[in-house]
A and B are shown apart, each in its own frame.
Chain A
């Protein structure tokens, strides 16, 4: 399907759905940072030759909009994420192996209860305008997203932050309302870029950062031009002499631009064309797994779904493999009715994968005291491209279990404000979160703004609070394991699929391996990480 639709869809869902902060993260180790060693991991394991300096990186990206702005609080899609991540740096950075490593912060410490975090800044870093980075810049940049008047997308990410203040010139202290063991990951959020302070606030209008590239031009929804900053502080990065980002909303146009050599990299490849693109010897397909997941939320407080047996019946009546093949063309993984992506460091690997089992579904129906079931599923492609198709497929599969799903197509416009979380059975999607805590907190905790199933499980809520402040990794993982099982067996959401994001690059550019599985386009940092082949 055309990404034009995606674009509109994107806009629609923005009207009601949280920008779930694209904290795409999954790694295997539950590394809770105490203090990190200095220096950056090198691409030592790269099989490619040594990075070459120079050249232009040209990207054709979906997710650019005419309404984009330089204000980091407003960034909402790939185009601004990728472009500005080359202009700015954050306190911490997610490394190739998925752990948070120092970037502008040299190191960090936390109090034992994980409530007070102190970040010590790297020395001698300058902004593009020549100003030297100090703690005041960091405080201003963080405070840009805080406060009652803030309209920043990162406001909830920083929801825990009670206070942020400078400690001397080269350290910043965050005081949290309650302990958060993952706080070093939180400040890696790409909204939380460090800008120079100016007149008591952060100067976002200038587009001046500490990153590898200077902002040469930015025309929202059209293009962004970057040129290499001659004195970038980070060694072994920013190989291209310049970069050019084109906002290409139409999927076909992106593919054409890549095939005809107008651009070197495109994202959101139309899945239908992946097989065809693969035949082109000059192109490489880059798949990033677990970028988002799709759900069918059932309101647990609705009359229809308050009986968990009914929910379980529906969870058994869906054929995830078929959906994966036809909706995602295999570019994804099947889900197990909880939001933690396979391969994540938080995954409960012992949890048995649920499969398509009409008999079991019938069994649960009988448990609920009914022979057959008729439910209405209000679907919209506003959730994700193919949501209606997936719903129709689901309908066919559920029929085997004696469940009659009446698929009602809802208009994309206003779907997330009028239908989602208001009607008992709908379609939805989530960008995967960097940490399990964040995912559970915003989507599954009692009273959370986007608890899309109105789920209220006492045990789950208790575990969530306990795990957040728990610095003991194995203990914490145990809690997460139980929470995943609770979601799977008692939760209100059917989570059938984790979708990959699929990008493609020309062989004119090369990289030393993707920061998979985190974010698309090498953790959105391809500009400073990739090089000319």
Chain B
């Protein structure tokens, strides 16, 4: 319906970005169908060349590179998405409540977030992951917690601009409860910047996970993950072997795409105000 039109009018970069995102989602959803081999299945000799039986060759343990790339989409996207979602659920909700309730709830949450944000993210993650151990669950929880602070700030700021509007005051005076204020009055009107932020956060989480993987604390093998796939093979770059660039490219492509789309969304939402 009305979604198609703006898409057709969108700039080339945004269209490209959307196409890539859809493609990635499809790959992630249908990974078992698309991948010729299993994720951790050893199917041949290590470092088989491209072409032939193995489209992109095999990795060091003789697992099919292409299959792992495909499964990597699922794992990496999945974990990053889950993390971002959680961060938004927690940070977003707290931000909205803080903005709506104000008073000591707002003060308390804001100061807490200030303090948490004063601890460098990577270092905090490092500490907590050392405490709770590195596995997918703790990874998601830790990064989500760290990111929730950033989301909190934004959602609070955005909600603040909504909360001061008269229709929220009207709802308050009607005697509406907190849940109604959050879900019906404020959230729908804060959605656009939050969605854009979701995209940016997603990219950030994605890069953060690969940085953690690079330091050995991210998604752990044998799970296929682009971050650690890059890291495991990074040294080959020195020798002009482009295999490790593929997962890196996959990371870059999705983040660039999401950024393109977010950029367009932001531009569009600000552009509407112009005339």
Q: Do chains A and B touch in the complex (CB under 8 A)?
A: yes
Q: A: which residues have CB within 8 A of B?
A: 1-2, 4-5, 8, 251-252, 255-256, 259, 270, 272-273, 276, 325-326, 329, 381, 388-389, 392-393, 396, 409, 411-414
Number of B residues, CB within 8 Å of A: 27
Q: Is the CB of B235 within 8 A of A5?
A: no
Known pairs A389-B61, A393-B61, A411-B134; A2 contacts B234 (CB<8 A): yes
Q: How far in angstroms is the closest Cβ of chain B from A380? A: 10
CB-CB contacts below 8 Å: B209-238 with A? 214-216, 220-222, 231-238
Q: Is the CB of B238 within 8 A of A256?
A: yes
Q: How far in angstroms is the closest Cβ of chain B from A410? A: 9
Q: Is the CB of B216 within 8 A of A4?
A: yes
Q: Is the CB of B231 within 8 A of A2?
A: yes
Known pairs A2-B234, A255-B235, A393-B61; A388 contacts B42 (CB<8 A): no
Within the complex, which residue of A252, A326, A388 is in contact with B60, where a contact is CB–CB below 8 Å?
A: A326
Q: Which residue of B lies closest to A7 (CB)?
A: B216
CB-CB contacts below 8 Å: B48-74 with A? 60-62
CB-CB contacts below 8 Å: B108-163 with A? 130, 133-135
Most buried by B among A2, A270, A412: A2
A273–B40 Cα distance when bound, in Å, is 22
**Which residues from A are CB-within-8-Å of B130?**
413
Q: Which residue of A lies closest to B40 (CB)?
A: A392
A411–B133 Cα distance when bound, in Å, is 6
**Which residues from A are CB-within-8-Å of B62?**
326
**Which residues from B are CB-within-8-Å of A389?**
61, 221-222
Query: Interface of chain A, helix or strand or loop or mixed?
Result: helix
Q: How far in angstroms is the closest Cβ of chain A from B127? A: 12
Q: Is the CB of B235 within 8 A of A413?
A: no
Q: Is the CB of B42 within 8 A of A393?
A: yes
Q: How far in angstroms is the closest Cβ of chain B from A390? A: 9
- What are 24 of the A-B contact pairs (CB < 8 Å)? A2-B214, A2-B235, A4-B214, A4-B216, A5-B216, A256-B238, A272-B47, A272-B236, A273-B235, A273-B236, A276-B239, A326-B42, A326-B60, A329-B46, A388-B222, A392-B42, A396-B42, A411-B133, A411-B135, A412-B134, A412-B216, A413-B130, A413-B134, A414-B133
**Which residues from A are CB-within-8-Å of B220?**
409, 411
A4–B234 Cα distance when bound, in Å, is 12
Q: Is the CB of B46 within 8 A of A276?
A: no
**Which residues from A are CB-within-8-Å of B236?**
272-273, 276
Q: Which residue of A lies closest to B235 (CB)?
A: A252
**Which residues from A are CB-within-8-Å of B60?**
272, 326, 329
Q: Is the CB of A4 within 8 A of B215?
A: yes
Q: Which residue of A lies closest to B223 (CB)?
A: A409
Q: How far in angstroms is the closest Cβ of chain B from A320? A: 16
Most buried by B among A273, A325, A411: A411
Q: Which residue of B lies closest to A259 (CB)?
A: B238
Q: Is the CB of B133 within 8 A of A388?
A: no
* Interface membership of B241, Cβ < 8 A: yes
Q: How far in angstroms is the closest Cβ of chain A from B140? A: 15
A207–B130 Cα distance when bound, in Å, is 34
Apart from A329-B60, A393-B42, what 7 extra A-B contacts exist at CB < 8 Å? A2-B216, A252-B238, A276-B236, A381-B221, A389-B61, A392-B42, A411-B220
Q: Is the CB of B221 within 8 A of A252?
A: no
Q: Is the CB of B241 within 8 A of A276?
A: yes
Q: 5 closest pairs, A vs B, by CB?
A: A252-B235, A411-B133, A5-B216, A276-B239, A252-B234
Q: Which residue of B lies closest to A271 (CB)?
A: B60
Q: Is the CB of A392 within 8 A of B222?
A: yes
Q: Is the CB of A255 within 8 A of B134?
A: no
A251–B60 Cα distance when bound, in Å, is 16
Q: Is the CB of A388 within 8 A of B221?
A: yes
**Which residues from B are CB-within-8-Å of A252?**
234-235, 237-238
**Which residues from B are CB-within-8-Å of A273?**
235-236, 238-239
Known pairs A272-B60, A389-B221, A413-B134; A251 contacts B42 (CB<8 A): no
